[in-house]
Structure 1
Amino acid sequence: MSTPTLTNPRAERVKAVRSLSGRSVRQRAGRFVVEGPQAVREAVLAAEVHDVYVTTEAAQRYPEIVDRAHQRGIRVSVGTAEVLDAMSPDAQQVVAVASLTSHTLADLAGPRLVAVLANVRDPGNAGTVIRAADAAGADAAVLTAESVDVHNPKVVRSTAGSLFHLPVVTGVDLAVAVAALRSAGLSVLAADGAGDHDLDDLLDVAGHAPDGVPDLARPTAWVFGNEAWGLREEDRALADAVVRVPIRGRAESLNLATAATVCLYASSRAQR
């Protein structure tokens, strides 16, 4: 793989990959772009990947990606650094094209921990919450219809490969998602700075919570709101309880992804 076969950064094939950064193009093509060695490494292990693009140097640096792609019959093309930069300047010279993933609430079998993103618009935050959900051992993530497209390149990159580890349900109404998760036996907790319950207090009584107090040891769906304004009143009203993460220092608040990580790990610990 020492001789690049793709040398023209203005070739139609290169433009086609770059165009997948647009949502309408992704939807028409049924494909999305995966950028960077970590995400591509996970994609070739678990996703329906059509093409992998690397430079000679990247192929030598990440032989496991090339080897796994070949084992799965995925086409691997070598391009110059200019070609890979034209496909994606953020990909560290490793790019893949995969089929759009699609999951529904009905696909979730006996979940114990689910992250629900309501009106989350920032790609970096959405991807980081999916990554945190994966790390905490969650069974799924759900993005409402008003949230960012999970196949946005920035979201995919921010998941660091976790997009390919757990089901991610998209495009659902929050009320529908809450009803389905509650029917599946999960408590629904909304994370909000003005919550009635303190997360640390809930951890103290996890497994033996008194009546009227959420039990983190139970299967739980956490609902996280918009970065700027949090959860709307009508969204908080859908939850069984509203929980706040304690702020002990002088910080005004926590970043959405940070707060989500704390909540998901609290449930993960309690459920152990």
Structure 2
Amino acid sequence: MPQGFRPGADPLTKRSSRVVAVRKLARRKVRDERRQFLAEGPQAVAEALRRSGTVVELFASAPAAERYDELIDLAVADGVSVHEVTDDGLAALTETVTPQGLVAVCRYLDVDVPSSPRLVAVLDGISDPGNAGTILRAADATGADATVFPDATVDPYNGKCVRSSVGSLFHLPVVRGGDTATIVERLRADGLRVLAADAHGDTDLDDLIDAGSLVSPTAWLFGSEAHGLPEHVAALADARVKVPIYGHAESLNLATAATVCLYASARQHRRGAPQ
């Protein structure tokens, strides 16, 4: 029996009361009531466990516990309750076609907007959790200080968003809730320039890069893949910025365009304005 499992305890099944209770976290209302969410797979679980006190419970199949014994040991050392589950119990807790054997119940991570940030991604009206999670991952990779999920945007604790972030949800501050206009005013008061990513914008990203205009602290506004930013939100920005298309592609998808914009800012923050 892998370390961490209670001796003599039968594996939990999909009908076990603990599994039935935890699977309800797939619903946002329940997540908000309990301020807990699910993270599945070894990568997400590993990143969650690196933040001591984040993981409340860990469910593992016997083969996964053998394979990822270091994670089980880390969970036990952090005082996490570890449960063995059967295949059907694991399937009840996961959303993927081929579960990877580990599911963690985690505490909510959201915080207020950090003070004096230099790079922030604000996601307005984005309903696709895959896109939102990928932007969160890009924000983490570029060293952003926070990613903001206002009220009109998909929940960062949605299962697909958590998976798409590939652990980045546990790395950088996530701000959840609030009105976009209020958030923008807060960021502007902190000295950030506000730029809206807009495929039809009148400012070219290359021109900003060439002029060294991205060296200052910046908040990027990103809208939905299908509709972009609402007019009243785009109007909050200091400029509407388009990513240039050099080839014949009609456009870039949202997550790709957001990654390009965030890296452009991060590069100038790292190097400073051109001489």
TM range (shorter): over 0.9
Deviations 1:3-45 (A, max 9, x none): 7732422111111121110011112222111111111111111
1:26-45 → structure 2 map (5 Å cutoff): 26-45=31-50
Q: Does 1:163 align with 2:159?
A: no
- SS at the partner of 2:264? helix
- Corresponding residue of 1:11: 16
- Dislocated runs of 4+, deviation >4 Å: none
Tell me which moved more, 124-133 or 21-30: 21-30
- Asked if 1:116 corresponds to 2:122, the answer is yes
Instruction: Report the Cα distance in structure 2 between the residues aligned to 1:63 and 1:197, rounded to whole angstroms.
Output: 52
Is 1:96 the counterpart of 2:94? The answer is: no
Moved more, 87-96 or 184-193: 87-96
Structure 1 position 89, deviation (Å): 4.4
Amino acid at match of 1:198: D
* Aligned position for 2:30: 25
The equivalent of 1:70 in structure 2 is: 76
Q: SS at the partner of 2:215? A: coil
State whether residues 62 and 84 of structure 2, in contact with CA within 8 Å, keep that contact through their aligned partners in structure 1. yes
1:173 aligned residue (171, 179, 182): 179
RMSD between aligned residues: 1.4
Name the CA distance, whole Å, in 1 between partners of 2:227 and 2:164.
Answer: 22
Deviation at 1:81, TM superposition (A): 2.1
In structure 2, what is the equivalent of residue 222 of structure 1? 220
Does residue 131 of structure 1 match 2:129? no
What code does the residue aligned with 1:248 have? Y
Per-residue CA deviations over 1:187-222 (Å, capped at 9, x if unaligned) read: 10000011111112211221xxxxxxxx10111100
Q: Residue 222 of structure 1 aligns to a residue in which SS?
A: strand
Aligned with 1:10: secondary structure? coil
Asked whether the 8 Å contact 1:85–1:93 carries over to 2, the reply is no
8 Å contact kept, 1:139–1:166 = yes
Q: Does the Cα contact within 8 Å between 1:5 and 1:77 map onto a contact in 2?
A: no
Name the CA distance, whole Å, in 1 between partners of 2:35 and 2:150: 20
Query: Is the contact between residue 12 and residue 83 of structure 2 (CA under 8 Å) also seen in structure 1?
Result: no
Q: Tell me if the contact between 2:11 and 2:85 (Cα under 8 Å) persists in the aligned partners.
A: yes
Partner SS for 1:216:
helix
Query: 2:58, 2:82 within 8 Å by CA — same for their partners in 1?
Result: yes
Percent identical residues: 53
Aligned: 1:149 with 2:147: no
1:239 aligns with 2:237: yes
Aligned residue number for residue 248 of structure 1: 246
The count of corresponding residues between Structure 1 and Structure 2 is 262
Query: Secondary structure, in 3 states, of the residue corresponding to 2:19?
Result: helix
Q: Could you list the per-position Cα deviations for residues 36-73 of structure 1 after superposition, in whole angstroms to 9, with x for gaps in the alignment?
A: 11111111111521101111211122223112112211
Query: TM-score, structure 2 length as denominator?
Result: 0.91
| Structure 1 stretches lacking a partner, 5+ long | 207-214
Alpha-carbon distance in 2 for matches of 1:6, 1:172? 42
1:111 counterpart SS class: coil
Q: Distance in 2 between matches of 1:181 and 1:258?
A: 24
Q: Hey, what does 1:261 align to over in structure 2?
A: 259
